[in-house]
A and B are shown apart, each in its own frame.
Chain A
Amino acid sequence: MTEPDAGARFTEMYASCHEQVYAYAVSRAGRHLADDVVGETFLVAWRRLSTVPETPLPWLLVTARNVMHGRYRDEVRQASLAAELRAWAEEADADVADGVTERAAVLAALARLSENDRELLTLVAWQGLSNREAAHVVGCSVATFFVRLHRARKRLEAAMEDAPTTFDLKEFSR
């Protein structure tokens, strides 16, 4: 069960990954739930340390994702995330630096996308995951991931134009 270097390995893994796991948790469930998600994720990681791969981040994000789905009802998580997305857009709006319009617009557009689209886009744009790693986190093949990411990008572009958007709403359900 426990290897001699388990504690050190775990501590190193925490030191190198906790910020990214937190960022993912915030982007998926809002900051009100993120601390809990991080704590629970690393507890699972400790208990299952011998099965954590050498590159732990994708595994940790999958676990965080499972923790979120197992621990909170969807409404609770989505309400917390909606508050988070509103806060980002408002803060970006209040910012007077250059490029704020675009910044606020892309965050507002992100908030209007489906949860699935938002997850793909933020995994790539904010978590810095490779397409392969991101596909692993959301549980699909790399080929499928490319297709889904392509569609999500198109929908984000469309959402950045002023509503009403031009893309086919039926695509949302795919």
Chain B
Amino acid sequence: MSRHRDVLRVLSEARPAQLDRGPRPIDLAAVTAFPQEAGDRANRRRLVLTAGLVPAVAAAAAVTVMVAQSPATPTPQPTLAQRPTPADTPTTARGLLLVAAEQVADDQTVGGRYWVTRIENGETRQVGPKARPYDVVLRMTEEKWLASSPKDKSWVFFQSLGAAPATAADKDAWRQDGFPAQWTEPAPKGMKPVVISAEGGPRLLRTPGGLSGRDVHVLGGQPITSAELSALPADSAALKAYLVKRYKDTGGLEGENDYLFNSADALVLDLPVTPEVRAVAYKLIAGLKGITTLGSVTDQHGRKGVAVAYTRRGDSGALAQTRLIIDPRTGHALAEESWSLGARDKLMSYTLVLGAAWSDDTPPAK
């Protein structure tokens, strides 16, 4: 062949057709049913979207079986209980976190065959007529049996709890909308419209056949194995250095401070790490810029805790805040909430930790 032709051009023309066949379609509803991690919204500008394009949700996957759960069930209310804090509770964010670190370090955890977590996740979605939109909270539970050994498989169960109006005002708007039991949203071309259902669905096994032991955890947006998690250093400087290295390896598209908060937050919330590492993660958060305390609060299930808040400037000048709610008696994380701050603070999403413990039991079949 001629050496005069540009080899890149030749290569470009030789592009194999196999590249263009496209992937096996993925179930977008199943993907978006996963809880999102807290992140930094300041790094990107909001996409300009057509007014009608509101959220796609897991509800598309929710098979309608039960009618019992009506939208009139008690709605999760943004609740910041009144101060004052108990006399023996530290009044600074740093103090709260250091006490929590002391408490969790005393955990007598010895590991086990599975790390079992149960979480409830809620997300606020805007629905209803364009002229009078209102918010509903879409809730779901997720139960994970995450194998310690690569010889065992991991299992994830999922259940949609349906959607309900977010506040009393939203409930009123929902009534004026005629008490719809579901909300349909137009989807981009080629996609099925998304249905948010007020009704819950059956408990589903999300991982038919189970998952192999690898990549079942996510830390800072990247997969991490149980072995890697159990080998994390229980030393403040070493853990921070490890996370900073991971941050750089991932390309560093968000701020380092945000990345450190998000990763440490995940470690204290529900990842299988030693009590010592969890304690160090609390200390790491205590040393970050932008940490404040909100004092005594209750989570979306009414459990009492103390809240530590991490606030950053989001899109269009709005403030986005992640609240980590800690049980002051045990130092364990109870919940994480994501708020948009403004004239009226708005709860955007929440994650409740209903259980996070080691188990040698056999995972349920369904």
A48 touches B37 (CB 8 A): yes
Given the complex of chains A and B, what is the CA–CA distance between A15 and B56 in angstroms?
Answer: 13
A4 touches B126 (CB 8 A): yes
- For the complex, is B172 an interface residue (Cβ under 8 Å from A)? no
Q: Which residues of B contact A106 (CB under 8 A)?
A: 7, 10-11, 14
B11 touches A102 (CB 8 A): no
A7 touches B1 (CB 8 A): no
Given A70-B215, A125-B11, A157-B3, is A26 in contact with B19 using a C-beta cutoff of 8 Å?
yes
Given the complex of chains A and B, what is the CA–CA distance between A45 and B227 in angstroms?
Answer: 24
Point out the residue from A53, A66, A157 that lies within 8 Å of B250, measured CB to CB.
A66
B7 touches A156 (CB 8 A): yes
Given the complex of chains A and B, what is the CA–CA distance between A88 and B18 in angstroms?
Answer: 8
Q: Which residues of B contact A5 (CB under 8 A)?
A: 46-47, 49, 53-55
Q: Which residues of A contact B14 (CB under 8 A)?
A: 92, 102-103, 106-107
Point out the residue from A26, A43, A53 that lies within 8 Å of B18, measured CB to CB.
A26
B24 touches A62 (CB 8 A): no
Given A110-B11, A160-B1, is A51 in contact with B349 using a C-beta cutoff of 8 Å?
no
Given the complex of chains A and B, what is the CA–CA distance between A39 and B8 in angstroms?
Answer: 30
Spell out A's residues near B (CB within 8 Å).
1-12, 14-15, 18-19, 21-23, 25-27, 31, 34-35, 38-40, 42-44, 46-54, 59, 62-63, 66-67, 70-71, 84, 87-88, 91-92, 99, 101-103, 105-107, 110, 121-122, 124-126, 136, 139, 153, 156-157, 160
Spell out B's residues near A (CB within 8 Å).
1, 3, 7-16, 18-24, 26, 28, 31-32, 34-41, 43-47, 49, 53-57, 123-126, 187-191, 194, 214-215, 218, 221-223, 249-251, 253-254, 322, 336, 338, 348-349, 351
Q: Which 5 A-B pairs have the closest CB atoms?
A: A50-B39, A7-B56, A7-B55, A1-B338, A23-B19
